[in-house]
Structure 1
Amino acid sequence: MKTISKLIKVTLVALLFVVSSCSNDDDGGSSIPNIVELAQSSPNLTSLVAALEKADLVTTLQSGGAYTVLAPDNDAFGRALTTLGFASLDEIDTPEEIAALRNILLNHVISGTIISAQINTGYGSTLATNADGDNLSIYLKSDNNGVSFNGMSEVTAADLPASNGVVHVVDEVILPPTVVTFATADSNFSSLVAALTRSDQPAFADILARTEGANNDGFDPDFTVFAPTDEAFASLIDSNPSWNSLEDIDGALLTSVLLHHVKDEANIRSGDLTDGISPTMLEGSITINLPGDDGNPAKITDGAGNMNIAVIAVDVQAVNGVIHVIAEVMIPAS
């Protein structure tokens, strides 16, 4: 079975889809359109073209590259506009709304040309950013059912060649992800999601899905989440003879444990870490040492004094925080 480190460290360095001038028009130029021209020629991508024009991204996707563009079809744009509270693109007119639209569109653009055969399950980065300017991650999944992104959008037409990249048509607009987006999309976090959503727990999923200003209260979440894998939760359950499943863990204890994995109001990326740093979590504090063992980027001592907890993947960047993946569940002092 593939390990989480292999899945998350997947390299999205696909073979460059070299579009040569194998077909020329009468004037001797290439007949292969650029990304914008390809979208303009498709009756099912008219909303995308209009959105690119409104967000001032036409020039970028005409002359830049190489890019992989995940192109939502017209139906996808219609559903997304409804979700965001707009009747049409024409209603997006303030500078703040246009900036948000631009970031949504950039969340569909990946640097480099990635054809469908080169897509493996794991994480990559888009050109969208959070408030700090960090590029947002995107979770790509490839299996017998096809290719999907962030657990919310599937490819319906793949490998449309452009002179400056490749286009894959998708059936949903991929909104900027929260930390909850990645937790629910990535099957390696199924136990974590089950713990966060257990009926006797606080509304963790709602809290961790919050974005800046979502409730007009000025709250800036910027969560840093140390996310244990399913294997980590299995080891935790095996550590107590009285536990046979996640449901056997006392509710108050589980709450404390989950809070021990989250720091709020700080988007702490791996580059921000220093050896011996001790961030205060929502429950207790932890100590992080650099580097980790066995080639891992870092290791943690939890509040209970358990040492050498491996950080096995870092910087899964959401719009409201960042996830680092750990190989053991951390226990607070309490």
Structure 2
Amino acid sequence: MKKLSKLKVIALALFAIAFVSCDNSDDPTPMPVDKTITGLAVKNPNLKILVQALTRAELAATLQGSGPFTVFAPTDAAFTAFLKTTPYATINDVPKDVLTQILLNHVVSATAKSGDLKTGYIKTLAKGSASTSNTLSMYVDITTGVKLNGVSNVTTADVIASNGVIHVVDAVIGLPTIVTHALANKNFTSLVGALTGAGQPDFVGTLSGTGPFTVFAPTNTAFTALNTELAPGGTAGVSAANLTKVLQYHVVSPANVLAATLTEGQMVTPILTPAQKFTIQLTGGAKIKDASNRISNIIITDVQCANGVIHAIDKVLLPAL
């Protein structure tokens, strides 16, 4: 009996060992968890169209790479609303090259958490038709929440990925024109007011066009200074016809003139007719001397738009009127 009991114990032990061995051999190898930007987007039920778009544009693998990247990720609702403004029924109908640049306009080559964002310009990975070397600028406004190019709000921030960060946004950020950036930046409200004022030509339509345009854009402070300079009447005393000439004096076309290409003493001819030039001065910082020998400093450079570039200046340029 004792021998029989021992045999049973041995048999049970062997069975257990065999069972465990078989069980271990049948276990599948655990799949690595994809915590990249693409991997997290795939898992988000509100980013299905984004994933579809990234796959079609062959960017899904890019955003699985080492990065780091910051991606402003439009929701499905954002893409649906965007498509309604286009001739395309689905994301697959958008031409691949166009779709690629739109998607790249949501990507920054750095890790920018919400606490790192400041009001001002950052560079995306997208390119417009005006420049092949200077990627498109994005205007970030953190006055209330985070607003991008004046059209898209961050609704969920700081989704941390292994290769960067995702911020979910409520609107697709289209490729910005000169007008897009003029409207987005609150420091240009006086300029926008002048461009759209009574008696002015369709500057908005023109500067939304193909271009390319180079715009030397006076800030609100520049217009305030002009009001003082033209006292007591201020800019209100300038006729609509003369204001048109002043505004035309700030636009060069066809041209996408980047700051690095400006040269000392360069004479620039804007679209004002009859033509009047202004002069670039670089000693002590980039400046412009206008037809009235007044000096304006270039304070922000190379705000790249799809159809041109903006340089902000601190004084309104005046042609000979």
TM-score (norm 2): 0.86
Q: Shift in Å at residue 279 of structure 1?
A: 1.4
User: Per the alignment, do residues 268 and 42 of structure 1 end up closer, same or farther by CA in structure 2, a change over 3 Å counting?
Assistant: same
1:188 and 2:190 equivalent?
Answer: no
Tell me by how many angstroms 1:32 deviates: 6.2
Letter in 1 for 2:289: T
Partner of 2:114: 116
Q: Tell me, which stretches of 5 or more residues in structure 1 are unaligned?
A: 1-25, 212-220
Corresponding residue of 1:22: none
Which among 73, 84, 87 is matched to residue 75 of structure 2? 73
User: Size of the alignment, in residue pairs?
Assistant: 289
Q: Does the CA contact (< 8 Å) of 1:69 and 1:168 recur in 2?
A: yes
> What CA RMSD, in Å, does the superposition of the two structures yield over aligned residues?
1.7
Is 1:251 matched with 2:240?
Answer: yes
1:32, 1:162 within 8 Å by CA — same for their partners in 2? no
Which protein has the bigger helix share? Answer: 2
Q: Residues 30 and 161 of structure 1: is their aligned pair in 2 closer, same or farther, counting only changes over 3 Å?
A: farther
| Range with bigger deviation, 130-139 or 164-173 | 130-139
Shift of 1:27: 7.8
What aligned pairs does 1:86-235 form with structure 2 within 5 A after superposition? Answer: 86-92=88-94, 97-131=95-129, 132-133=131-132, 134-143=134-143, 145-211=144-210, 221-235=211-225
Q: Deviating runs (4+, > 3 A) in structure 1?
A: 26-32
Distance 1:209 1:168 in 2: 28
Q: 1:30: how far off?
A: 7.2
Residue type at the aligned position of 2:59: L
Q: Taking every aligned residue pair, what percent have the same amino acid on both sides?
A: 44
Of residues 60, 68, 90 in structure 2, which corresponds to 1:58? 60
1:264 alignment partner AA: S
Structure 1 residues 27 and 141, CA gap change in structure 2 (3 angstroms): farther
Look up the match of 1:14. Answer: none
Alignment of structure 1 residues 270-289 onto 2, 5 Å: 270-283=259-272, 284-289=276-281
What's the counterpart of residue 9 of structure 1? none
- Counterpart in the other structure of 1:239: 229
Q: Which digits, 9 at most, give the CA deviation of each residue in 1:282-323, with x for residues without a partner?
A: 1221110113x3xx3x111112222x3111110011010000
| CA contact 2:198–2:240 (8 Å) conserved in 1 | no
Whole-Å Cα distance in 2 between the matches of residues 88 and 124 of structure 1?
30
Secondary structure, aligned partner of 1:43? coil
CA contact (8 A) 2:222 2:315 kept: yes
Preserved CA contact (<8 Å) 2:53 2:92 = no
SS at match of 1:79: helix
Distance 1:333 1:241 in 2: 18
Give distance in 2, aligned partners of 1:42 and 1:248.
57
Distance 2:167 2:70 in 1: 8
Whole-Å Cα distance in 1 between the matches of residues 146 and 32 of structure 2? 30
CA contact (8 A) 1:315 1:324 kept: yes
- Equivalent residue number for residue 12 of structure 1: none
Deviation at 1:29, TM superposition (A): 8.9
> Aligned letter for 1:51?
A
* CA distances 1:201-240 after superposition (whole Å, capped 9, x unpaired): 00101110113xxxxxxxxx11000000111101111112
Residue equivalent to 1:8: none
Q: 1: CA distance between counterparts of 2:36 and 2:105? A: 19
In the aligned structure 2, how far is the partner of 1:84 from the partner of 1:267?
27
What amino acid is aligned across from residue 170 of structure 1 in structure 2? V
Query: What is the letter of the counterpart of residue 257 of structure 1?
Result: V
Q: Distance in 2 between matches of 1:167 and 1:54?
A: 20
- Report the residue type matching 2:200 in the other structure: Q
Residue 272 of structure 1 and its aligned partner are, at CA, apart by 1.2
Corresponding residue number in structure 2 for 1:300: 288
What residue ranges of structure 2 are gaps of 5+ in the alignment? 1-27
